[in-house]
Amino acid sequence: MHNDSMRAVRGAAAFESAVLENGLTVRVHPMPGFTGVHAVYGTKFGSIDRAFTADGKRVDLPAGIAHFLEHKMFENEEGDAFTLYAKTGAVANAYTSFDKTCYIFSATNRVDENLDILLGFVSRPYFTAATVEKEQGIIGQEIKQYDDSPDWRLMFAVNQCLYHTHPVRDDIAGSVESIAKITPEILYACTDAFYRPQNMVLAVAGNVTMDDVLAACARADLPVRTGTVERAPCQEPLTVAEAHREFTMAVAKPVLGVGFKEQPPQGDALRAEIVCDIITELICGSMTPLYRLLYDEGLVSPGFSGEVLSLPGALSFLFGGETAEPERVRGLLLDEIARLQREGADAELFTLCKNQLYGELVQDLENVEDVASTLASSFFRGRTPADEIETLASVTLDEVNAALQTMLCTDRSATVIIRPAE
């Protein structure tokens, strides 16, 4: 990559950072000239965090608790945070993924008030038996809706085939049975363990300054939490739990998923993730021979693609989408992987794929929402957006070809097919 363009990207990826006395990390990217502000207040607590030790005592958690907690945090004795946001005109939301929970708002004015609302409700949890029971009914309905989504069902079916015990097997929202075990006491134990400032980040981008954000943190007077919390590691073998699974759903065409289980990276996870992303693009990205073949012959629908899942204790590839001929498409995919392993990746295509990924990283620095989200998600992985761009720039074709020799083994793969219900 050219030095001038690298300098320009570094400038775009630059942000201000502070760690407060209570341990909270604050990342701010002032973007003068932009009208809006986007804020993400997140904690490193997601659906895969299912057991921890607090001050020497082990606590096991039911599936879906991080997502359940995300819903409950919006309420306290005074009422509902959405009502407060409605008065300021902000748009607010939250989401839970495998490894984090984030609370977000976008606003064009009254930023100080919106930051006060955000920091207020997330740092002062309030749970009762009655509100927990009410939420169990609401989330039970949400779980049933997810059960009707083929993409969602496919992802978890592949994860269940690849993994024996890792919590990535379990739906992020849990099951009706698992959330029935949730009590106010368990929720308070989770907020004490994971909603402590040293486990959290406040990332803000847009028409805002670091001083504005630090002043909001000072007003919030966030509680300090002492003591030690350790996540319980998961022991997962490299073998797959199940090689093949089929089931039926209300789908117009069959849906295929082919997953490959890999050794989780030791040490530099960022580099391993970027190598895997490049490999995915080289196999079935929009510029590849396989992609052209699949589309020219009308074998797949437009959503057919590959993605990489990288989490503590888990690394895997998932290729899939709609296809009238799942067995044939699976065969073509395996043939293309074998060809790349045999011949190595094409140098020109490698450069194109790398440039495409580079373009996606740079694009994430161009609007307020993406910048704040990127600052938060990179914090949870112990890095910065500039680290990601510089690591991508330094990855070589030799490195990718070496990785192809050890990854994507058919004996560590699983195939899932969803057939249309009669």
Cα angle 375, 304, 265 (rounded to 5 degrees) comes to: 45
Concatenate the DSSP letters of all residues of 125-146 into one string.
----HHHHHHHHHHHHHHHHHH
Structure tokens at 418: 């969803």
The 8-class DSSP code of residue 264 comes to P
Cα angle 302, 156, 324 (rounded to 5 degrees) comes to: 35
Give the long-range contacts of residues 342-347, CB within 8 A, separation 24 or more: 344/397, 344/401, 344/404, 345/282, 345/397, 345/400, 345/401, 345/404, 347/397
Distances (CA, A) of 349 to 104, 151, 193, 272, 406: 38, 29, 46, 19, 21
Burial 252-271 (b: 16+ CB within 10 A, else e): ebbbbbbbbbbebeeeebbe
- Three-state secondary structure call for residue 294: helix
- Among the listed residues 16, 21, 70, 236, the single catalytic one is 70
Give the long-range contacts of residues 11-15, CB within 8 A, separation 24 or more: 12/362, 12/365, 12/366, 13/365, 13/384, 13/385, 13/386, 13/389, 14/386, 15/205, 15/371, 15/375, 15/384, 15/385
Concatenate the DSSP letters of all residues of 273-284 into one string.
HHHHHHHHHHHH
Clarify whether 422 is annotated catalytic: no
Give the long-range contacts of residues 165-169, CB within 8 A, separation 24 or more: 165/234, 165/235, 165/236, 166/48, 166/234, 166/236, 166/313, 166/314, 167/47, 167/48, 167/49, 167/50, 167/63, 167/234, 168/48, 168/98, 168/309, 168/311, 168/314
- Three-state secondary structure call for residue 272: helix
**Contact 418/150 with Cβ under 8 angstroms?**
yes
Amino acid making up residue 175: S
User: Which residues on neighbouring strands pair with residue 51, listed in sequence order?
Assistant: 60
Which positions are catalytic? 70
